[in-house]
Amino acid sequence: MRFVQIPTSLLAQVDSSVGGKTGINVAHGKNLVGVFHQPDLVIADTAVLDTLSDRHFRAGYAEVAKYGLIDDPDFFGWLEGGWRDVFAGGAARTRAIATSCRAKAAIVARDERETGDRALLNLGHTFGHALEAATGYSDRLVHGEAIAVGMVLAHDFSVHMNLCSPDDAARVRRHFTEVGLPTRLADVPGTLPDATG
């Protein structure tokens, strides 16, 4: 069946509407049931994003920042200096969305079915999905918030493994904190399961 995506959140405009992954969440985890099916067209009307709550816009922004972190340091630097303009709308928002979509589309073109490069798009998602499961996939922690914490944790883990500089990890945490995204387990409302249990 041919279909057209019309994403109405920032997260959907820069992530889930691009790439053809149509997985759904089930009790055992995220995206476990589904197929890869590319849309014929994606219509991303940036004006509709003005209807989002601040929380949900910020959550989508985590996925925008991800594209800078995975392979575009100039874009991440631009976001650090101009994130308020992205939030305000207009040309900066359009640029952020377009840059994100181009980045994802390029990766998907190289690896549609996630057997190589597409794994880069999962930055922060291993930790993030675990946090979403720990909060019962509830409104306690929406996807982009979980991914923000997950990206910080991934950078911290990379520092521990000597794969990332402490300055880079601190930079990621600082930016997400400035934007208003959670960056620590303590930022997640309620209690979390004991990791040792």
- pLDDT tens-digit map of 149-177: 999 999 999 999 999 999 999 999 999 99
* Helix, strand, or coil (residue 166): helix
**CA 104/CA 177 separation, integer angstroms:** 24
Check residue 84 and give its pLDDT. Answer: 98
> How large is the average pLDDT for residues 48-75?
97
Q: Are 179 and 83 in contact (CB under 8 A)?
A: yes
Lowest pLDDT segment from 27-31, 54-58, 118-122:
27-31
* Contact partners, residue 91, CB within 8 Å, separation at least 6: none
Q: Are 83 and 96 in contact (CB under 8 A)?
A: no
Closest by Cα among 95, 105, 106, 187 to 150:
187
pTM for this model (two decimals) = 0.91
Average pLDDT, the chain: 92
In one-letter notation, the amino acid at residue 28 is H
- pLDDT tens-digit map of 23-35: 787 877 777 788 8
Q: Are 96 and 65 in contact (CB under 8 A)?
A: no
* Domains present along the chain, CATH in parentheses: 4-186 (1.20.1090.10)
- pLDDT of 197 above 60: no
The strand pair at 41-42 and 4-5 is best described as parallel
In one-letter notation, the amino acid at residue 195 is A
CA contacts within 13 A on the Cβ side of 97: 28
- pLDDT tens-digit map of 66-101: 999 999 999 999 999 999 999 999 999 999 999 999
E strand segments, the chain: 4-5, 24-26, 29-33, 41-42
Check residue 10 and give its pLDDT. Answer: 97
Higher-confidence residue of 169 and 22: namely: 169
Closest by Cα among 81, 72, 59, 54 to 13:
59
- pLDDT tens-digit map of 97-114: 999 999 999 999 898 878
> How large is the average pLDDT for residues 127-154?
95
Check residue 196 and give its pLDDT. Answer: 61
Strand partners, 29: 26
